[in-house]
Chain A
Amino acid sequence: MKIIVTSEGKDLESNVDQRFGRARYFILIDTDSMEYSVIENEGAQQSSGAGVRASQIVINSGAKYVLTGNCGPTSFDVLKSGGVEVIVGVSGKVREAVEKFKRGELKPGKGPNVSSHHGL
């Protein structure tokens, strides 16, 4: 299965970026093979709608889950509509987050965990 983790850097040893919409990178990982690719978040510098742009990138990537620190209401709703489950409150290294996810320790949130414009 493909999942996305928001990341401060371009590899699995980077820290999970705590912001969703303005995350530096999205790491798209195949949880079976642990192969991954890096997507630069071109929307990170948008003056408005960064979370929406980020959600579109995640949806287009085909990921079924996104692991991140915080996610606001608009992104959460858009991701849900696009069939992507959101797991918030994730921190530490990207690799550790993926391992936890594979062990079933991370569960999707029922709603956004921060308000709009939290990551500005």
Chain B
Amino acid sequence: MIISVASGKGGTGKTTVSTSLALSLEGEVQLIDCDVEEPNSYIFIKSENLKEISGTVLVPEIDKKRCTYCGVCQQVCEYNALVVLKDNVIVLPELCHNCGGCALLCPQGAISEVDREIGIIKTGKYKNVELIYGVLNIGEAQAVPLIKKVKKYINRKKDVIIDAPPGTAHPVIETVRDSDYTILVTEPTPFGLNDLKLAVGVMRDLDKKFGVVINKADLGDREVYRYCNEEGIEILMEIPFDREIAEGYSKGLPLIEQNPAYIKQFRDMYKTIKKLVYPSSERMVK
């Protein structure tokens, strides 16, 4: 089963929930941090000896001996990543979406595709958790190609927890698109509610099963609860606003290591989710 942990608003507790959920489960679990612009699960899942793999995309390279500067590649490119001059072709790799159309359609066969590194994928192990995360190179504009590379490491035979990027834009959609269930972490504040509504809209458009975890639960007001009730959205778990939790977090301590009483709550949430994903039979394999 693949469970994504997302949120509209940033800083609501995605990493708190995803790391502790992964560590609470019995058996081997994958934790995949898809927030490649700012991964932080590794701070809590303290894996030593991380393996590093280059994350690359294919971009065009022009063979100037064959090129006749006809301009077909430039016309084909939907993203304006190529400029054809009288005696030169400029490739703008940061605009390229790696579709391969230019290489396919070049009448001279003058375009080949070469690897360009956009980030690093790191993998490691801590307790029962296999950690996999991507780190996008600074200055890269597109997170999605690296998220796709990171997701290739998903092993569907295991339970998989995915820490999603914040927001509701393309990187989030790419992250959750093949999840069985998505946990939306929010906080009971006007900002939390506003961004929760946006995230719920995304889930409904994608036709995804989802539920809500309310973090810092005794803060703010009751509007998030009222919204969830009205919309029939399951509240899976509440985590109180607690200085000790914040202090533990600031030291890189997973919630369930700081307070093991939460292990049962996370396991119960997992069971609830499993029933929601596989409603007909609990005997089904994960």
Binding site for B on A (CB under 8 A): 43, 46, 48-50, 52-53, 55-56, 59, 74, 78, 81-83
Contacts A52-B95, A74-B92 hold; do A81 and B80 have CB atoms under 8 A apart?
Answer: no
Chain B contacts of A59 at CB under 8 A?
83, 85
Q: Is the CB of A56 within 8 A of B84?
A: yes
Nearest to B96 among chain A residues (CB) is: A49
Nearest to A50 among chain B residues (CB) is: B80
Beta-carbon contacts under 8 Å, B76-127 to A = 79-81, 83-85, 88, 90, 92, 95
Q: Is the CB of B83 within 8 A of A82?
A: yes
Q: Does B19 belong to the interface (CB within 8 Å)?
A: no
Query: Interface 1/0s, chain B 18-62, versus A by CB < 8 A?
Result: 000000000000000000000000000000000000000000000
Binding site for A on B (CB under 8 A): 74, 79-81, 83-85, 88, 90, 92, 95
Chain A contacts of B79 at CB under 8 A?
48-49
Q: Give Cα A81 to B80, complex, Å.
A: 16
> Lowest 6 A-B CB distances belong to which pairs?
A49-B80, A52-B80, A53-B80, A49-B95, A82-B85, A78-B83
Q: Is the CB of A48 within 8 A of B80?
A: yes
By CB atoms of chain B within 10 A, which of A43, A50, A82 has the most?
Answer: A82
Q: Is the CB of A78 within 8 A of B90?
A: yes
Q: Is the CB of A55 within 8 A of B95?
A: no
Chain A contacts of B83 at CB under 8 A?
52, 55-56, 59, 78, 81-82
Closest Cβ of chain A to B52, distance in Å, is 30
Chain B contacts of A81 at CB under 8 A?
83, 85, 88, 90
Nearest to B79 among chain A residues (CB) is: A49
Closest Cβ of chain A to B87, distance in Å, is 10
